[in-house]
Structure 1
Amino acid sequence: MSGRRRPLAGHLVLLTTVVAAVAALLTGLVAWQSAAHAAEQRERDTLTRQATLLSRLPALSPVLFRGAEKLAGPNGEQFAVLAADGTVAGGAAPALDLASRAALLAGRPVSTDGLLAGQDVLVVGSPTAGGGAVVLTEPYATVDRTTDQIRHDIGLPLLVGLLGAALAGGLLARRIARPLTASATVAHRLAEGERGVVAPTGGPREAAEIGRALTTLDRALTRSENRQREFLLSVSHELRTPLTAVQGYAEALADGLIEPERVPEVGRTLAEETRRLDRFLADLLDLARLEADDFRVEHTPTDLGALVAEAAAFWSGPCASQGVDLRVERPDAPLLVTTDPFRVRQLVDGLVQNALRATPAGAPVVLAARAGDGTAVIEVRDGGPGLTEDDLAVAFDPGALRERYRATRPVGSGLGLAIAHRLTTRLGGEITPHGHGPEGGACFTVTLRR
């Protein structure tokens, strides 16, 4: 069994803390490395300003010489004067090499390193107007102390930044996790069958989108369950009516209440009611099979024109018996599609049966096949009353149209169009209902990829 998983808030806090720690570490490493250079540069700048100031004095008398050494003393600075003839006087004289002397005598400032009394020192020189130069030195120990101070000063801000990042991560995690946790609670309540649950829409945009999606799901589940409930009520009503008739006649026969001359009539009634039950149950089984994952579709090259012609030949008799004019529209050339011919024929038969039921005598039913743009199209059109916009929205819902028109039109089991929709989907096609076609009635268009 897997261990307990860390919640999202914990992941966010850990992530932000790690990112902040890595950023602080990298910043600290860069600052640590640059602290020595910054400290050295600062000390060189200070020495340069002092040397420049002293070099502008009109004359470096012994008094000024001693004053400069006292001024430089607290940091261990040493002072020297380079005369125009090349002689050097002062405590910093041993640190001045020949190259630096030549540069200063040539009028160029000097900023370099040197060795004084066995110590590494900074050497800075500034030429004077009289042709000589002023030289100042400072031990590297001063630079080291300054470096340590800079490094000490950057440690606290880095630590504060790390703690601030962790705190920000916690606040961010709380802001993100709270609506997600609430949405998860809503999802569990929906899964347990509760409806009308209000999902949270606060927090970040993605979390709000999840909340809106859950609200949409709740409404969709409510509609679906209401339709299922209505369908089950319709099914129970459809089953109860013939069962009541069969049970009543069976009890009457068992009790000897049926006169001998009426027995054939009662037998025909029982047979008709049982056939009605058989058709209804067959439709239910077809719909259940179409919903199953193991529903088989065998694709083979199929001429839809020939298939439509075969279907028309079969339905010509039932149409003629009801006074309906069956028309066929098919292309002259074969209309080849790789599909399951048995299932396509089942689909066509269901649509024609549905159209024939709604078409009055003298009106047409049209069975058409034609080529589309990379597709093949089958149409079943009728001259019946057609469908409204509200009808089109629920045309493929089991029992929806039957419940709507059972008192005003001839209706079937209410499952035919639902079966047609599922069959078309299984065949990889699309079926589109139209309220009124060229003949005035409904039109169903099936589109299959060629």
Structure 2
Amino acid sequence: MFNTLFSRMLATYLSVMLAILLLLGIIVAGMFQNQYISEQESELRREAEEVTLTIVNKYLDDDKRPVATEELVTTARKYDALLQLVFVDPAYGNVCMYDKASTKWIPVADTYLSDEASEIIEGANTRIENNVFRGWIDIPTMSIACPISTGEGTVVGAMFFHTDMSRTNDSIRKVYLDVLLSACVSVILAFLAVSYITGRMTKPITDMNNIVRRFSKGEFSARVKIASKDEVGQLGQSFNVMADELDTLEHSRRSFVANVSHELRSPLTSMRGFLEAMQDGTIPPEEYGKYLGVVIDETKRMTAMVNDLLDLARIESGQTVLKLEAFDINELIIRTLLTFEARINAANIDVNMDFDAEHTTVEADSDQIAQVVRNLIDNAIKFSPAGGTLSLKTETGKRNVRVSVKDEGVGIAAEDLPYVFDRFYKAEKAHTPSGSSTGIGLSIVKRIVEQHGETITVESPPGNGTCFTFTLKLCEQQAKPRPYAAQRR
């Protein structure tokens, strides 16, 4: 029944509100009842004093008794009450007065409370009791019992003044009904208000749940509508940011799959064509060596591509453990550069090396940093025009070393710069010539550098080549740098 957040919140809010309304209703009704009863008791006490004075001043006087009797009957009629007088002197006897037009007091008119009268006379105290005639009549009553004392303090009897509380109880009951009705109306209004508010609070969460389901079906364009700036609204904003990233990632993934499929299909198709041509005799035996060389080159390129994919997957999954050691970054750059000597000479590229010191010792994983330098140099050679210049530079700071690799190629468009290091970014947009790579080399570079806790940046002024710069932690025993520059062809 309460399997949704909306129903649980609604039930909780309504329960709390209903409890508060019920408590307030009971308190208000109780206060009204106590106030009403207190006023009734006060009025009853005042009237009892008046009746006692009438009895002492007039009723006990034989000459004034008829007048006193008429006044007492009038008082009883006024309050629709029953007045009973119990005297100590048998000459006065027991007297009962009430409105003869009313029949409700007849069953108890001659029922004198002898024991109570004796207690009142002996104790000379006043008390108020409720429903003293329970069992004789079905009328709720409030009775005041007080001694009849003369001016000298002599108690001559007891007076009982019984009033009908039916009207009072009806008024109190009406108050309870009004409170109950108000509570019911309040609950209905509260239900509508809480339903509306709870619905607005939970709607973004419900929308997010529905959007997640759409995401599971491959619909990445859905977004949550933000209608507030509270925690739920902030959650919706964060969800939309995540959705944007997922959408971008999914787009990149599809683009990457398409590119990789193309990169794999093209050489496989070419290799298959050459092999089938050799098989059916289209290619003569004397040319086998030429075409087998092409097949071998294609397999090497595909192997390099698969290795890059495995490296990226291993780095992103956190399986790569850094083996930090102190080594000379300048020496590593020179050793790596030598592996590209044949390509550099073939492209007639000049190499310019500008090192702050002959030896610059850094603390890092030398194998991974060698992969970073190798990828950046390989990328720069691809984009350097024939007769261009490849620049390698190291700058020593207080705590780190800045390593720069710069080419004189056409550069990267400004709109593509923010995405250069994105994984699965299209090869032609990742500073990689179309058809020569999968465009994940720079992603590997960025993740290796970040794994070391360092940064890498790219600058590409229009028509002025591209420069990649990354930082490495300077080893503590690094000596004071001495300028060192070299240029080779």
Range into which the TM-score falls when normalised by the shorter chain:
0.5 to 0.7
On the 8 A contact 2:82/2:163 being kept in 1, the answer is no
Q: Say if 1:45 and 1:330 are closer, same or farther in 2 by CA, change over 3 A.
A: farther
Alpha-carbon separation, structure 1, partners of 2:375 and 2:78:
110
| Structure 1: 5+ residue stretches without partners | 51-60, 79-113, 124-137
Shift of 1:7: 1.7
The answer on 1:116 being equivalent to 2:126 is yes
Q: Say if 1:358 and 1:271 are closer, same or farther in 2 by CA, change over 3 A.
A: same
Alpha-carbon separation, structure 2, partners of 1:225 and 1:212:
20
**2:194 pairs with 169, 172, 193, which one?**
169
Q: 1:13 — aligned with what?
A: 10
Q: 1:270 — aligned with what?
A: 295
The answer on 1:309 being equivalent to 2:309 is no
On the 8 A contact 2:352/2:390 being kept in 1, the answer is yes
**1:74 pairs with 57, 62, 79, which one?**
79
**Percent of counterpart pairs with the same letter?**
22
**1:323 pairs with 330, 335, 349, which one?**
349
Q: 2:310 — aligned with what?
A: 285
The answer on 1:424 being equivalent to 2:424 is no
On the 8 A contact 2:336/2:370 being kept in 1, the answer is no
On the 8 A contact 2:329/2:361 being kept in 1, the answer is no
Counting only pairs closer than 5 Å after superposition, residues 18-33 of structure 1 correspond to structure 2 as 18-31=15-28
Q: 2:392 — aligned with what?
A: 366
Shift of 1:156: 3.3
Higher gyration radius (CA) = 2
Q: 1:444 — aligned with what?
A: 468
Q: Which digits, 9 at most, give the CA deviation of each residue in 1:27-72, with x for residues without a partner?
A: 245435534553366569989999xxxxxxxxxx999xx69x8499
Q: Say if 1:183 and 1:315 are closer, same or farther in 2 by CA, change over 3 A.
A: same
- AA of the residue aligned to 2:225: T
On the 8 A contact 1:375/1:449 being kept in 2, the answer is yes
Alpha-carbon separation, structure 2, partners of 1:328 and 1:412:
29
TM-score norm. by structure 2 comes to 0.61
- AA of the residue aligned to 2:270: A
Shift of 1:341: 3.6
Q: Say if 1:202 and 1:220 are closer, same or farther in 2 by CA, change over 3 A.
A: closer
Q: 2:104 — aligned with what?
A: none
Shift of 1:192: 1.0
Q: 2:321 — aligned with what?
A: 297
Counting only pairs closer than 5 Å after superposition, residues 3-402 of structure 1 correspond to structure 2 as 6-31=3-28, 34-35=31-32, 38-39=35-36, 70=75, 73-74=78-79, 115-116=125-126, 150-151=175-176, 153-177=178-202, 180-194=205-219, 196-197=221-222, 199=223, 201=225, 220-259=245-284, 261-291=286-316, 293=317, 295-298=319-322, 300=324, 302-303=325-326, 306-316=328-338, 318=340, 321=345, 322-330=348-356, 337=363, 339-360=364-385, 361-368=387-394, 370-371=396-397, 377-398=402-423, 400=425, 402=427
Alpha-carbon separation, structure 1, partners of 2:275 and 2:213:
50
Greater alpha carbon shift after TM alignment, 234-243 vs 69-78: 69-78
Shift of 1:405: 8.7
On the 8 A contact 2:259/2:438 being kept in 1, the answer is no
Shift of 1:214: 6.5
Q: 2:487 — aligned with what?
A: none
Greater alpha carbon shift after TM alignment, 377-386 vs 279-288: 377-386
Please give the secondary structure, in 1, of the residue aligned with 2:468: strand
On the 8 A contact 2:278/2:285 being kept in 1, the answer is no
TM-score norm. by structure 1 comes to 0.65
Please give the secondary structure, in 1, of the residue aligned with 2:416: helix
Alpha-carbon separation, structure 2, partners of 1:417 and 1:174:
48
Shift of 1:121: 6.8
Q: Which digits, 9 at most, give the CA deviation of each residue in 1:302-353, with x for residues without a partner?
A: 447x23431233214625634332424356896655x544323322322222
Alpha-carbon separation, structure 1, partners of 2:237 and 2:174:
56
On the 8 A contact 2:326/2:362 being kept in 1, the answer is yes
Please give the secondary structure, in 1, of the residue aligned with 2:415: helix
On the 8 A contact 1:234/1:403 being kept in 2, the answer is no
Q: 1:128 — aligned with what?
A: none
On the 8 A contact 2:427/2:439 being kept in 1, the answer is yes
| Structure 2: 5+ residue stretches without partners | 48-57, 59-63, 84-123, 130-142, 147-160, 475-489
Aligned residues: 384
The structure carrying a bigger helix percent of its residues is 1
Alpha-carbon separation, structure 2, partners of 1:329 and 1:172:
67
On the 8 A contact 1:9/1:177 being kept in 2, the answer is yes
Please give the secondary structure, in 2, of the residue aligned with 1:188: helix
Shift of 1:19: 1.1
Please give the secondary structure, in 1, of the residue aligned with 2:79: helix
Q: Say if 1:336 and 1:144 are closer, same or farther in 2 by CA, change over 3 A.
A: farther
Shift of 1:268: 3.1
